[in-house]
Structure 1
Amino acid sequence: MKLQLILTLVFLIVSASVAADYVRPLPRKALQFPWDPKSSQPQQVHISLAGDKHIRVTWITDDNSSPSIVEYGTLPGRYDNLAKGESTSYSYLFYSSGKIHHTVIGPLEDSTVYFYRCGGQGLEFQLKTPPAQLPITFAVAGDLGQTGWTKSTLDHIGQCNYDVHLLPGDLSYADYIQHRWDTFGKLVQPLASTRPWMVTQGNHEKENIPLLKDGFESYNARWKMPFEESGSNSNLYYSFEVAGVHIIMLGSYTDYDKYSEQYRWLKTDLSKVDRKKTPWLIVLFHVPWYNSNKAHQGEGDDMMAAMEPLLYAASVDLVLAGHVHAYERSKRVNNGRSDPCGAVHITIGDGGNREGLASKYINPQPEWSVFREASFGHGELKMVNSTHAFWSWHRNDDDEPVKSDDIWINSLVSSGCVDKKGHELSNLLMTP
């Protein structure tokens, strides 16, 4: 009873801290998961990119003696390769996690289906590696949670012929209740075990208890991203390249000012971007900088003030964010107004969370805001070639994936903005 009271109080405090001045409509009910007895079988399997031609396989076992090995090959039931990895675990108040395994496999062929097995036993899974060159398709959905809307979103993403899933924060909505991380892992396994899921943290991943627990312990243990491969010293920000696209995942909830480690890492990472090799440059983080919803107004202003000049000088094509439980797309914008050499900003925090939708907007609609709607859904981003990409947003309307917004996006490389701003970027990168 005391434990339940403590967790309830913590939950109420967190809920109050992330709530805003709007009344959300009633959400769908949280999904109910049957009680699962402890098992030695691998569970919560998901994959992520881990450097050139490599993939990290992550899974959890209740058996602490289970090895961190992955057997894999291009034929079902025939494993010609074996990779050994590492494992970790953590305790959180009265909760103890299972053994969390991380094993990197590769080098792998591009656009190839591999069959694999974790820990030397259990079910066979299969994955498909991304293409080496354009075109490539990304599925995008943030603020997922574990509700009936979440399931609808995941079902619709499963119908999309995508190569990589991008998630700009707020995964499980565990909010200190650790077994919800486990149920989330099981919920997304059918998709996350077949295509790489690349994620960054949101406010619901913080789970910080002053004097007892630092933030992000659960998130960092379970969702290891390629931060080391990209020269970062934190799992909260990193970058990766895939099929002509350089993608930077930033942390809205770690230091980002000009004297921070994240800012210095970002400058270093941008200095290495070769737009001839990766003509597209995309950035993800959780808290939107351009937001005309009444929810979470101004929360991204400090990060925007610090980092937008860098992203603008680097000619970032597209910025994807979550946090606000609605959808919004901007024109190309910089410094608060339309700019043909700025980035397109898209808020897509509408994956299906239990808090409901953010339905109140500021009127009149800002000049830079093109389309906005408070509905659950997901996005699809197809990078067709080095000059053109097609973005579409699909509303979960009466359980049908309705395409409600779409646009062709021209790359800033093709518009001449990259060449025009080269000197500006060089000056910023050289500034201490």
Structure 2
Amino acid sequence: MEPDFPKLRLMVFLLILVNVTSDYVRPLPREDLEFPWNPKPSSEPQQVHISLAGDKHIRVSWVTNDHSSPSTVKYRTSSGRYTSIAQGESTSYGYLLYKSGKIHHTVIGPLEPNTVYFYQCGGQGPEFQLKTPPAQLPLTFAVVGDLGQTGWTKSTLEHIDKCKYDVHLLPGDLSYADYMQHQWDTFGELVEPLASARPWMVTEGNHEKEYIPLLTDRFVSYNSRWKMPFEESGSPSNLYYSFEVAGVHVIMLGSYTDYDEYSNQYNWLKGDLAKVDRERTPWLIVLFHVPWYNSNKAHQGEGDEMMAIMEPLLYAASADIVLAGHVHAYERSKRSYAGKPDPCGAVHITIGDGGNREGLAHMYNNPQPEWSVFREASFGHGELQIVNSTHAFWTWHRNEDDEPVKSDHVWITSLVSSGCVAEKRHEQRKILMAP
């Protein structure tokens, strides 16, 4: 009997369509970027990036090769002659044979919300401009972890640049310097166009842990270069802190510092959660590096210990969304708690797919867990738009042929509006106020 070619073609097309939409796999990672040596005047600012530093303030950070360069920032709301100046602090560090430049950190403000400011670092060099976040919702976060410095990183950053975001959230693994300190410098140059214009709020990952026993401190490179508002939030460590922007309270935790019940981080977290006012900040978002909900074969179970200790605190406080990296793939969960779907738990999102040199984590455990909604091994970035006090819109954009393709999206309703916060008020008080 003659084969039915139209039906065969249709079957082949459907098989291809199913494979593409349900099991898309990115190509191999691109090579590390090459950075030609481009010397600048020794006092000219390099690696400029900004971060939030308390209410209505921005911290400007940069590096100069000239150690006599001042840690001053001039700024105003129009280009040209500056009307305000702020004096900051500086540091430097040595790492084996490497000596860093002078690393400057200067806080400017108070600043008006949702406003463009022009600024100059150290009294010379180019003029930069930044935009402060709005004071009220809506607010948009760009989210991506495990960036590195590859061709895929460059593609991801280009896509984020097209996103109209207010604050960038990065849950660990920034430069992938891995002890090669000059790669912290090249990473700073790579992200400067974006990081100098919008606040970048980061926490540490395993690739920031450049520890050599008896020779170097843990996280010396990361802590020296990327100072976050830990002091402003009452934290004793730059490895964990919190901040508020518009109607959102964001907590950045450390997966690679002590987190047991007797640790400084655990006690700080309890105190920070107890102070959260869900009327002023109806959204509670948490970031750290190692995911708690992970059905990928890579790094399986690595977050279990931290989850067992800290998830009850986040659940009692009705955390809405938890963002993590580490696994080089994307995954989104239902609202979950204790490893099971729970309408009063958090939505967990793994987004460690920024473009690092180690490649993607292609293999997943099967069957797919009940809590897992969407998972895919692709490079990309996320956008979280907090629309109002009750609704947020999350989208994940896959890097496909250098174009950002929206591959996953979901509306998220806040736990405040669902009644979970009110239901757990007594439980929250009991857990968070316990000695």
Tell me which interval the TM-score lies in, with the shorter structure as reference length: over 0.9
Query: Does structure 2 retain, via aligned residues, the 8 Å contact 1:141–1:168?
Result: yes
1:37 equivalenced with 2:21 (yes/no) = no
Name the counterpart of 1:101.
104
Contact 1:87 1:99 in 2 (8 A): yes
Letter in 1 for 2:37: W
State the alpha-carbon separation in 1 of the partners of residues 330 and 67 from structure 2.
Answer: 43
Partner of 2:282: 279
Work out which of the residue numbers 223, 227, 232 in structure 2 matches 1:220. Answer: 223
Given the alignment, which residue of 125, 130, 146 partners 1:127? 130
Whether the 8 Å CA contact 2:145–2:325 is kept in 1: the answer is yes
How far is the alpha carbon of 1:120 from its aligned partner? 0.1
Letter in 1 for 2:334: K
Aligned residue number for residue 261 of structure 1: 264
Correspondence list, 1:187-266, <5 A: 187-266=190-269
Aligned residue for 2:316?
A: 313
Aligned 8 A contact 1:25 1:356 in 2: no
Distance in 2 (CA, whole Å) between partners of 1:58 and 1:214 is 21
CA distance in 1, matches of 2:59, 2:116: 15
Comparing 216-225 and 71-80, the one that deviates more: 71-80
Deviations 1:361-415 (A, max 9, x none): 0000000000000000000000000000000000000101000000000000000
How many residue pairs match? The answer is 410
Preserved contact between residue 147 and residue 174 of structure 2 (Cα < 8 Å): yes
Map of 1:71 onto structure 2 = 74
Percent identical pairs in the alignment equals: 81
Given that residues 274 and 433 in structure 2 are in contact (C-alpha distance below 8 angstroms), is that contact kept between their aligned partners in structure 1? no
CA contact (8 A) 1:141 1:379 kept: yes
Counterpart-to-counterpart distance in 2, 1:67 and 1:430: 45
Gaps of 5+ in 1: 1-23
Q: What's 1:26 paired with?
A: 28
| Offset of residue 38 of structure 1 | 5.4
Secondary structure at the residue paired with 1:57? strand
Q: Once the 2 structures are TM-superposed, how far is the Cα of residue 142 of structure 1 from its aligned partner?
A: 0.3
Instruction: Write out per-residue CA displacement over residues 200-236 of structure 1, whole angstroms, 9 at most, x where no aligned residue.
Output: 0000000001111121000000000000000001000
CA deviations over 1:219-256 (Å, ceiling 9, x no partner): 00000000000000100000000000000000000000
Distance, in Å, in 1 between the alignment partners of 2:236 and 2:339 is 31
Deviation at 1:430, TM superposition (A): 2.2
Which residue of structure 1 aligns with residue 85 of structure 2? 82
CA distance in 1, matches of 2:312, 2:222: 29
Partner secondary structure for residue 141 of structure 2: strand
* Aligned amino acid, residue 361 of structure 1: Y
Given the two structures, how large is their TM-score scaled by the length of structure 2? 0.93
- Aligned partner of 1:54 among 44, 49, 57: 57
What whole-Å deviation, never above 9, does each CA across 1:255-289 have from its counterpart, x for those lacking one? 00111000000000001100000000000000000
- Look up the SS of the partner of 1:48 in the other structure: strand
* 1:26, distance to aligned residue in structure 2 (A): 3.0
Gaps of 5+ in 2: 1-25
Computing the radius of gyration from Cα coordinates, the structure with the larger value is 2
Give the Å deviation of 1:78. Answer: 2.2
Aligned Cα root-mean-square deviation (Å): 1.0
Q: In the alignment, is residue 413 of structure 1 matched against residue 416 of structure 2?
A: yes
List per-residue Cα deviations over 1:329-353 (Å, max 9, x = no partner). Answer: 0000000000000000000000000
- Work out whether residues 90 and 97 of structure 1, in 8 Å CA contact, stay in contact via their aligned partners in 2: yes
2:406 counterpart residue number? 403
For the residue of structure 1 that corresponds to 2:375, the secondary structure is strand
1:36 Cα deviation from its structure 2 partner:
2.9
Offset of 1:25 from its aligned partner? 6.5
Within 5 A, what are the aligned runs for 1:139-178? 139-178=142-181
Match of 1:383 in 2: 386
Match of 2:304 among 301, 321, 324: 301
Could you tell me which amino acid in structure 2 is paired with residue 26 of structure 1? L
Q: Does 1:357 align with 2:360?
A: yes
Measure the CA separation in 1 of the matches of 2:388 and 2:406. Answer: 22
Conservation of the 8 A alpha-carbon contact between 2:117 and 2:129:
yes
Letter in structure 2 aligned against 1:409: I
After TM superposition, give the deviation of residue 197 of structure 1 in Å: 0.1
TM-score with structure 1 setting the length: 0.94
Bigger mean CA deviation after superposition, 31-40 or 312-321? 31-40
- Tell me the amino acid that sits aligned with residue 427 of structure 2: E
Q: Is the 8 A contact 2:319 2:346 kept in 1?
A: yes
